Chain A
Amino acid sequence: MAKYLMLKHYRGAPEAVNDVPMDQWHPDEVDAHMEYMSDFAKRLEATGEFVDGQALSPTGMWVRSDGPNRPPLTDGPFAETKDLIAGWMVIDVDSEERAIELAGELSAAPGAGGEPIHEWLEVRPFLTGPETVTG
């Protein structure tokens, strides 16, 4: 089994095929989308592949140390950031093919006009601990 992170972006991903802001959708389309997302997570729980899923607020900031005895520097909320993560799902699957298959299904969530959004999701394998049998 291998863990993969599926990342959804507010900004920074290539443009989705069906790229309409959700507040412009028909109310029924919003409902259909939310139902699809909730069913997707439930289905992965049922197959034993779901690990974690979280959504992030779009507001946040950059922080770095400014040296001893000084308060950390902050910058933001991210007005200028090109890349902004909206949320993630961690899955534990048998293969990269399966990870790609699931990301494809998630990307096909219905959007405006009842058509799939076809948004780009970032899929990243976890670096894991060393294996016991090293050959």
Chain B
Amino acid sequence: MDDDVDEELLRELTPVVISVLCRRGADFASAEDAVQEAVLKALSGWHDDPPRDPKGWLITTAWYAFVDHTRSETARRAREERSEAEPPSGPTEDADDTLQLYALCAHSSLTPSSAVALTLRAVGGLTTKQIADAYLVPEATMAQRISRAKRTVSDVDFTAAGDVGELGTVMHTLYLVFNEGYSGDIDLAAEAIRLARQLSSMVDEPEVGGLLALMLLHHARRPARLGADGRLIPLADQDRELWDSSSIAEGVGILRSALARDRLGPYQAQAAIAALHADAPTVDDTDWVQIVEWYDELMAFGDNPVVRLNRAVAVGEADGAAVGLAELAHVDRSIPRWTAVAAHLRERNGELETAAELYAQAALEAPNLLERDHQTRQAARVNHLLRRSANR
């Protein structure tokens, strides 16, 4: 580990330096490559010899890398034209440029996985290896994904990318990064929060605040999400003392100012639901009636079976399991976790035998190992209750 190299600073500077190179006339793909090369040099070289002006060092190193590549690829004359056209280096920090970079990396012509990879490298300043490790794919595969993504956006006018109303895809890309959680050295959730924070400082849009608040409020629960043995602990059973109260306070504050703008959107509505959970000192204090109302607000932005499913859970808590089950009957059964929700509501409704069967079925349908183990444990627990009451 390069403990002495300020990796965070490197990541912050990456999009800034890419923008500088682009303003000096480099195309996005070459600029991005050159900056990655400079970042890798910094990671190996700063340890022994840290520069006094990291940004200046990165710009110079990346620019030389770019020129080197151009030299080997193009004719001498083209190079001379380019270097003559090089404008004097102006101010190096420009929020608009970084915003354009966000938009370019999340461009709607990219598949979600390509947008995620390109965003993490060009805006997030991660190395290809770090991104590959985080997504558990070989480095060569991730390198290919990134270079294909760069080819896809090579025709997009870099300076225009910020204007095309792509904020929605940028937010969705950051949301996908956040949801991936963390494996390996890189904490993708923390990285997504950093990028969302940067985005919210650049644009005046309440939904970006909503997204950042949503991330902070969910991130706050992370210390309580897993037990000591690595098992999943559902929201209702979490030790709320472990929740990160400063992260909650920040998320709630950001959400309040976003809501005050009176332009509600789906991220703000989801953050409001997360805030109501965070607000309850114990699970019994949860304001389920208000949560159901927020789910109604959320549904107004698009009828979505996943939202309906979560709403059925909230209704089950607010109005009783039988009402929740009636809601559940209107939700598409083929969506993930339908069976898990059905098992939960049946148990709350006192139908233990049905619940046990549904929990076992939910384990077979679980989308990940943590949830599978959790549903298996639920099935074993309810079957155990049934055996005990039969023996009495």
Contact = CB atoms under 8 A, between A and B. Distances in A.
A38 B229 CA distance: 9
Interface in B213-229: 229
B371 to A, nearest CB: 11
A68 B366 CA distance: 35
A21 interface: yes
Given A21-B360, A58-B364, A27 B377 contact: yes
B360 A23 contact: yes
B364 A30 contact: no
- What bracket does the count of chain A residues touching chain B fall in? 10 to 19
Given A30-B376, A30-B380, A59-B365, A23 B230 contact: no
A28 B364 CA distance: 20
A17 interface: no
B188 interface: no
Contacts of A38: 229-230
A55 B369 contact: yes
B380 A26 contact: yes
B229 A35 contact: yes
Interface in B347-392: 356, 359-360, 363-367, 369, 372-373, 376-377, 379-381, 383-384
A23 to B, nearest CB: 4
B377 A30 contact: yes
A61 interface: no
Contact of A22 (B230, B367, B380): B380
Contacts of A26: 380, 384
Main secondary structure of the interface of A (DSSP, over half): helix
A23 B364 contact: no
Given A34-B373, A38-B230, A24 B365 contact: no
Interface residues of B, number: 21
A22 B376 contact: yes
Interface string B266-291: 00000000000000000000000000
Contacts of A29: 380
Contacts of B231: 34
A31 B364 contact: no
B237 to A, nearest CB: 14
A27 B380 contact: yes
A25 B364 contact: no
| Interface-central residue, B231, B356, B384, by most chain A CB under 10 Å | B384
Contacts of B373: 34
Given A23-B383, A25-B380, A27-B381, A59 B364 contact: yes
Interface string B335-357: 00000000000000000000010
| Interface-central residue, A22, A27, A29, A57, by most chain B CB under 10 Å | A27
A47 B381 CA distance: 35
B9 to A, nearest CB: 33
Contacts of A34: 229, 231, 373
Contacts of B363: 23
A115 to B, nearest CB: 16
Interface of A: 21-27, 29-31, 34-35, 38, 55, 57-59
Given A35-B229, A59-B364, 4 more contacts: A23-B363, A27-B381, A55-B369, A57-B366
Kindly list the 3 A-B residue pairs having the minimum CB-CB distance in the complex, ordered from nearest: A23-B379, A23-B360, A30-B380
